[in-house]
Structure 1
């Protein structure tokens, strides 16, 4: 049964995912500058271009004719998401909001990580799996894989036990939402912007405790 599932969704996708997972695991132990970006994006682009023989902007849904719609949805929903989160932090949060992070601290998690993860998980994996099965099943599977990718990061940060379960639930819901919006807007710009908004909120609310 396991072999049938692997063949159905594509063993090459699983191999690429394992490769990315290993890159993340190595980086949480000892950061290697640029390895996450190059190690994730380059194999994916080579696969799309030389194996699938597809135009990369079309396959990833980064086409010029959809960028305005995708960015508009992303900015609009991102603004709503940030507003609700900040209102929650002000009303029931205990602690300080950290807006004045140096560029070096927020550039990687907010811009780089959001873009690279969305390119790989929504732009590549979700598309590949949706070619083999229903979109909702593909979205669920990608969300599980997205959760698994974050476990080494959480473990290294000292997050264990029930806290990991809470984080996994939150990240899984976000991943499913990103996938659904990608499907509805037909643009990768929407989940990229929302992902960046979420990561920015994580930075500015670090250390806050909610009643």
Structure 2
């Protein structure tokens, strides 16, 4: 049942988060480029892959550390991984669905696949990446302000902003516009967090 719930939740999130990008593409770019290429589902240049995955691994570690700090302060009761608490290996399929298809993919489609690319096309990469990172950080501050208070929520927001900026940089510079790196970063951090909660490590 948990696996089905996580799968349905992931599909719902994907539909909601991809609605604006899909409509924008249909109106402005459908005749020029496929949606997959437009949003960033494209291969990373071979000569850049080692560098990209090195950056991605370090950023995944940073995002994982943020998740650990968050769960230590909030607990797991009101977070996306609460369903996995002390469930062990039996929830591994549900964790994989949550990590790969839930949260990470919808957020990467919207923030790094859509917002960053459109903002960068309009204002340049530096400003576009900063704006998407600010919005990403603000979203995560607002999510936790009631549970943690203003100061802690702002701290999480700033750290999340930094991670979002790094993911945008990795995607657009060494990865040549692919969103696969940030998707991997986000998914790996979520997977390791979910696994840690499932085995009572957090």
Q: TM-score, normalised by structure 2?
A: 0.66
Counterpart check, 1:183 vs 2:172 = yes
Structure 1 residue 83: Cα displacement: 6.7
> In 2, distance between residues paired with 1:143 and 1:182?
13
Any conservation in 1 of the 2:61–2:189 contact (CA below 8 Å)?
no
Number of aligned residue pairs: 168
Output aligned runs, 1:23-34, within 5 Å: 34=11
Shift in Å, 1:204: 4.5
Q: Give the structure 2 partner of residue 113 of structure 1.
A: 103
Shift of 1:208: 6.9
| Equivalent residue, structure 1, for 2:148 | 159
Cα 1:82–1:147 shift into 2, 3 Å: closer
Match of 1:7 in 2: none
User: Which of structure 1's runs of 4+ aligned residues deviate more than 3 A?
Assistant: 31-35, 65-86, 98-101, 201-209
The CA deviation at 1:43 is 2.9
Task: Structure 1: give runs of 5+ residues left out of the alignment.
Answer: 1-30
Q: Is 1:143–1:175's contact at 8 Å kept on the other side of the alignment? A: yes
SS in 2 for 1:131: helix
Residues 77-134 of structure 1: CA deviation (Å, up to 9, x unaligned):
4445567868xx9xxx9xxxx8747132452245321111111111111111111112
Q: Which residue is 1:122 aligned to?
A: 112
What's the TM-score, normalizing by structure 1? 0.63
SS of the residue aligned with 1:62? coil
Residue 173 of structure 2 corresponds to residue 194 of structure 1: no
> Could you say if the C-alpha distance between residues 176 and 125 of structure 1 is closer, same or farther in structure 2, counting changes exceeding 3 Å?
same
**What residue number does 1:46 align with?**
23
Query: Structure 1 residue 55 and structure 2 residue 46: aligned?
Result: no
Measured in 1, the distance between the counterparts of 2:169 and 2:90 equals 31
Unaligned runs of 5+ in 2: 1-7, 73-85
Two-structure CA RMSD over aligned residues (Å): 3.5
